[in-house]
Structure 1
Amino acid sequence: MVLTKEVVLPEFTTLTVPEVDLSTPTLMSAAPYVGKYCETVNNEFMLCRFESNDPRACIDLGKKVTACTLQLFRNIKNNCKREFNQYSYCVDKSSGNFSFAMCRKTQTIFDECMKEKVSIERPDFGYFCRARVHSSSSAPPPPEPCPCEPKFQDETESLPDCKPRPSARFGGRYFWITE
């Protein structure tokens, strides 16, 4: 990416945030809950990224997403640590590709704990594929200029009528179709 003098990059101190440094099976085990618990903050962040097309404008929202994820993992640690550790350990050790198939019993125990103690139900299958309308508190981006204005001043009004083409010398490609 080429930068010019006009591009203002954020200072390093504004980019520092506590990271979610957890293993893949741990993140995969909690992924449905992270998606549901942080849904509104994440939707706002993704809307900002899509509308602004500039990641610098969305740094604060990215920090809020990370903070939300850390808050969920603190809730899991305080309320369902043993059940979650069993489930993530099963996901880690039961297969080579972190499959959930062998871990349905520990998943059920963890889901019941999350429902009872943290008051979050596991999202049903296909929850994240459904279309939902996100109502944002941020202002919409300014409208883009209309692309319907003519780009060339010397446009032709219409093309002249063409002469009919002669038939192909060696036959057409649809020779098997009879008229």
Structure 2
Amino acid sequence: MVQTESIVLPSVDELNVNEVNLTYPVLKAAAFHLGKYCEFKNNEFMLCKCEQSDPRECIEEGKLVTACTLDFFKQLKKHCKDEFSQYYNCIDKASFNYRFNPCRKTQSVFDKCVLNNLNIERPMFGYYAQVKVHDSSRPKPKYNIIEFPVYAAPVSRDEPLLPPKYNSRRLWSQ
């Protein structure tokens, strides 16, 4: 991608953040509770990405999402380490495509532990697909609204019409 001199890129120090180095089964096992724990910060980040045309504007929101994720896994390790390790090991080893079905018993034990210690209830099925209104403290963006000309129909009721080629024109001109 071609850049001009007027574009200022963020420094490496601004972009440097602790990463979440976890495998797919671990992230899949914690996904529902993690989404609930970091919902507000994730919605802020996604709103920023959608509203801003420049990804450099959302660096701080992205750092907050990563910090929230790290905090969640620290809390999970502190309170539900054994239950969580049994659950993600079951997901990892019970099926070749990481299905939840063979691990419902370990899932219920893990869900109870998270509910009792972190006060996070597993969201209902379809929770993340529901439409929600996010109340943000960020200012609303200013959009450039493009006005398109509106063309009026050239045919009036008084003008005689040419004979239709396939059907009645009167059906559409009323």
TM over 0.5: yes
Distance 1:165 1:119, change over 3 A: closer
- 3-state SS of 1:132 partner: coil
| 1:76-155 equivalent positions in 2, closer than 5 A | 76-144=76-144, 146-148=145-147, 150=149
Q: Distance in 2 between matches of 1:27 and 1:87?
A: 11
The percentage of aligned residue pairs carrying the same residue is 48
How far apart in 2 are the matches of 1:2 and 1:34?
Answer: 38
Deviation at 1:143, TM superposition (A): 2.8
Aligned residues: 163
Q: 1:132 to 1:166 in 2, by over 3 A?
A: closer
Unpaired segments of 5 or more residues in structure 2? 167-174
CA distance in 1, matches of 2:59, 2:161: 58
Partner of 2:72: 72
| Aligned-pair CA distance for 1:2 | 2.5
Please give the alpha-carbon distance, in whole angstroms, between the structure 2 residues aligned to 1:2 and 1:158: 47
Distance 1:49 1:164, change over 3 A: same
Structure 1: how far apart are the matches of 2:115 and 2:21? 25
Aligned to 2:6: 6
Taking the aligned partners of 2:26 and 2:118, their CA distance within structure 1 comes to 18
Deviation at 1:164, TM superposition (A): 4.4
Alpha-carbon deviation of 1:165? 6.5
Question: Where does residue 46 of structure 2 map in the other structure?
Answer: 46
Tell me how far apart the structure 2 counterparts of residues 116 and 44 of structure 1 sit (CA, whole Å): 27
Provide the rounded CA distance (Å) in 1 between the counterparts of 2:3 and 2:111. 48
Structure 1 runs, 4 residues or longer, greater than 2 Å off: 155-159, 161-167
Distance 2:70 2:76 in 1: 10
Q: Which runs of 5+ in 1 are unaligned?
A: 168-179
Corresponding position of 2:23: 23
Distance 1:91 1:113 in 2: 18
* Cα root mean square deviation, aligned: 2.2
Q: In 1, Cα distance between the equivalents of 2:112 and 2:85? A: 14
CA displacement, residues 24-71 of structure 1 (integer Å, 9 cap, x when unaligned): 000000000111000000000000000002111000000000000000
Q: Distance in 2 between matches of 1:35 and 1:166?
A: 59
Structure 1 CA distance, aligned partners of 2:35 and 2:121? 12
Letter of the 2:127 counterpart = Y
1:86 deviates by 0.2
1:63-88: per-residue Cα shift (whole Å, max 9, x none)? 00000000000000000000000000
Q: Quote the Cα distance in structure 2 between the aligned partners of 1:156 and 1:126.
A: 45
Change (3 A) 1:83 1:9: same
